[in-house]
Amino acid sequence: MTEVEEEGSQGFQWDDFPKDVVDLILSKLGIKELAVAECVSRAFRTAVSAPELWANAALDIHKSSYKPEAKLNDAKLVKILNRARGIPRMNISVIDLAECHDLTSESLWAISKRVGPGAQPPKVINVRDCGRLDSRELVAFLRELEAKVAAPWKKKRTKLVLMSDMYGNDVDYLEKFDTEQISEEDSEYDFQCQAGCTVSFNDAEFCYQYCCPSEEEPALTFRDQSDYEDSDDDYY
């Protein structure tokens, strides 16, 4: 094998991609995926350091790892959000905090504070199994967010996924959303879309209506909570 062939055998390297191609690839990642990507190598860390990426990355905390984020607390989420370095967050199409058991209202206010005026209303707000949040905190967050987004809440516009016991406060306000209430029994299982959705949910019809309308039928697999057991991973 010649010296040229030996060099070529290394294949196409990350540094060989044009910067605009790299930026396009990274722009498709959620904030947790960006956090993982920067741990790959120095080149990746440099590539994902741009605050614009963090400001526009989807807040798909749950979906990014496919596991409950039991160790993701307020301080860690604020640290991730601060990577945007003050750039207003205009991409809030998905706010998926499902199973982030240690998050409190402090995280909700941190998200709201960083949303820029005129941002498009999110398609999904998922706070399923966020055990340290209560209905009053959630409603206060939603009111604060509504004051910033470009259009008021509307059932056909935003899906709200929450636990049934969080539905007791300000019911009239929560009825503005297409609300899915999850019971404690239902929360032990969920569906995972196989057609490119960026959310987790329990309702197959939700996938078909909101995420994958181009699909003839939702492409879902049933996933047991036991898939998550004995996981001590700390993703950030």
Low-confidence ranges of the chain (pLDDT < 70): 1-12, 63-71, 169, 184-236
Residue 136: in which H helix or E strand, if any?
A: helix 135-146
Provide the b/e sequence for 84-115 (b: ≥16 CB within 10 Å): beebebebbbbbbbbbbbbbbbebbbbbbebb
Residues in the chain: 236
pTM: 0.69
pLDDT of residue 141: 95
- Distance, CA of 18 to CA of 62 (rounded, Å): 31
Amino acid sitting at position 172: D
Q: Which of 178, 168, 162, 167 is nearest to 211 (CA)?
A: 178
- The pLDDT, as a whole number, for residue 186 is 60
pLDDT at 68: 43
Helix/strand/coil for 201: strand
Structure tokens at 93: 């199409």
Q: What integer pLDDT is reported at residue 36 of this predicted model?
A: 82
Give the span between the Cα atoms of 123 and 133, in whole angstroms: 21
Burial class (CB in 10 A: 0-12, 13-18, 19+), 42: exposed
What was the pLDDT predicted at 173?
92
- Supply the DSSP symbol for 50: -
Per-residue pLDDT of 72-116, as tens digits, reads 789 988 988 888 988 998 878 889 898 888 889 999 999 999 999
Measure CA 193 to chain center: 14
Q: What is the pLDDT of residue 225?
A: 37
- Cβ atoms 56, 27 nearer than 8 A: yes
